[in-house]
A and B are shown apart, each in its own frame.
Chain A
Amino acid sequence: MSSPSRPDTGSADPTGTTPVVGVLALQGAFQAHQAVLDRLGARTRQVRTPADLAGVDALVMPGGESTTMSRLLHTAELFDPLAERLAAGMPVFGTCAGMILLAAEVLDGRPDQRSFAAIDIAVRRNGYGRQIDSFEHEVDVDGLDAPFHVVFIRAPKVERTGPGVEVLARHDGVPVLARQGRVLVASFHPELTDDDRLHAMFLAMVPPSAARAA
């Protein structure tokens, strides 16, 4: 990983047709996600303000502290514009805290914690316990030939999935990867492994950039 003090200038776009994938950079593991997306050849941009958000075609919402991000979404005046983009069908990939922010129902959250209800699931914050309970393991993922290595860090636990939600992977019987329309969520951290397949799966959900330009 390169020095974080280098400004994020976004990646080059030789053709002008590749969609721009934003990474919500309020707090958390945004650099790790951006590194995977860059490796896959995506155009990426860190998103901290409404102007940043207006320039992206899709968004990754990383892991981190969901209470911190929830507060910063409010102070950066990003909550409403992001809710509008999600309602308009912008593809989004939320991992860990990102999944919490996208869930219809958050259990054990703070009373003032807001979520976008973009996917019909209920998640319990820290459902797998504290850091000493954090773990790594393997799961089978629908549509992937070989198992995926999953890293759970103080992870949220999915306790309910609605009828419109497609569960793509389970660990110990509990859904850990799920999709509804253009919303993909994982309770684990694919950005902490060298395996790019889930990010590639997400990029395949992103339509050409023309959709936004038009």
Chain B
Amino acid sequence: MAHMSSNAADSPAARGTYRVKRGLAEMLKGGVIMDVVTPEQAKIAEDAGACAVMALERVPADIRRDGGVARMSDPEMIEGIKAAVTIPVMAKARIGHFVEAQILEALGVDYIDESEVLTPADETHHIDKFAFTVPFVCGATNLGEALRRISEGACMIRSKGEAGTGNIVEAVRHLRNITGDIRKVTQADSAELFQWAKSLQAPLPLVQEIAETGWLPVPLFCAGGIATPADAALAMQLGAEAVFVGSGIFKSDDPAPRAKAIVEATTHFRDPHILAKVSRGLGAPMTGIGMDEINQRYAERGW
């Protein structure tokens, strides 16, 4: 950093601070982050108004169908997608696989998703996310899980839902778990907060912070099962601040119009007239599957 004549610039600029990492999550609010597997899909997503893309090799519906071990994507594929768009590019690392995260940081991705959609690499530990310059998002099914991820350095939480199902029921359950417990914590007195911290298995200072502010210290987004504009608006009305759409766009009959409609629905989530307008004539959504038809619940991964 070159010296300026002013006093203000005497200290060096700071990169990778909590504020800088959390700042990008703030910029993604009200937006749609779309899973893409090719540069062409990334361009369709950007054209449709996605605020970011998630670069991966297979969308969750295909990971679910194919089985086997799901890992970080090939760096060549991530670089191809980075070159195709100007919006932020995210990528997934396996739970606890800090070397995959180191590689993704070296590739210059803008956000890392330590994701239960990939096969976990560590069944006890998540990644120490404070050790990285790049920010992390992690999934959560309830408030305790969200706070454990935040205590490890996650700068954004997404409700997990059940990826690759096109079924919103688990996302709704997880959002209601998180926001419902936040409401209860705000009603607790100072003595009860100690018990809340124990039952949530979460650090007391974070529980006390929620009691004071009434919200998580980082943004809460929704993922796992959004397939229609109405699904996106439902997540937003339930308290999500932005949405991730995985298989829901590129597993539908006509991805581009559906992607645009979900973007509009996420912005105008409280206006049923606009939601009715954008929901028309989108072709068939992804077929989707019921929770009793799946043999692997990704949401159970994470500790």
Contact = CB atoms under 8 A, between A and B. Distances in A.
Interface of A: 1-5, 7, 25-32, 48-49, 63-65, 67-68, 71-72, 75-76, 96-97, 108-110, 125-126, 130-140, 147-148, 151-154, 170-173, 189, 192-193
Nearest to A126: B86
Contacts of A147: 6-8
A18 B85 CA distance: 43
A173 B2 contact: yes
B179 interface: yes
Given A132-B15, A172-B2, A65 B133 contact: no
B105 interface: yes
B contacts with A: majority SS:
loop
B241 interface: yes
B55 interface: no
A153 B111 CA distance: 12
A197 B133 CA distance: 29
A7 B51 contact: no
Given A27-B30, A96-B27, A72 B264 contact: yes
A27 B267 contact: yes
A80 B111 CA distance: 34
B111 A72 contact: no
Contacts of B52: 65
B191 interface: no
A32 B29 CA distance: 10
Contact of B31 (A27, A139, A151): A27
B31 A65 contact: yes
Contact of B23 (A108, A109, A189): A189
Contacts of A2: 213-215
Contacts of B14: 135-137
Contacts of B31: 27-28, 64-65, 68
9 nearest A-B residue pairs (beta carbon): A147-B8, A5-B239, A131-B110, A138-B8, A71-B49, A137-B13, A27-B30, A135-B13, A140-B6
A109 to B, nearest CB: 8
B21 to A, nearest CB: 8
B135 to A, nearest CB: 7
A72 B269 CA distance: 13
A172 B19 contact: no
B24 A28 contact: no
Contacts of B2: 172-173
9 contacts: A1-B213, A4-B29, A28-B30, A65-B28, A96-B27, A136-B20, A147-B7, A153-B27, A171-B4
Nearest to B216: A1
Contact of A72 (B7, B29, B179, B267): B267
B295 interface: no
A175 B140 CA distance: 41
B49 A131 contact: no
B11 interface: yes
A25 B270 CA distance: 12
A125 B85 CA distance: 12
Contacts of B8: 137-140, 147-148
B46 interface: yes
Contacts of B19: 136, 151, 192-193
A132 B133 contact: yes
A68 to B, nearest CB: 5
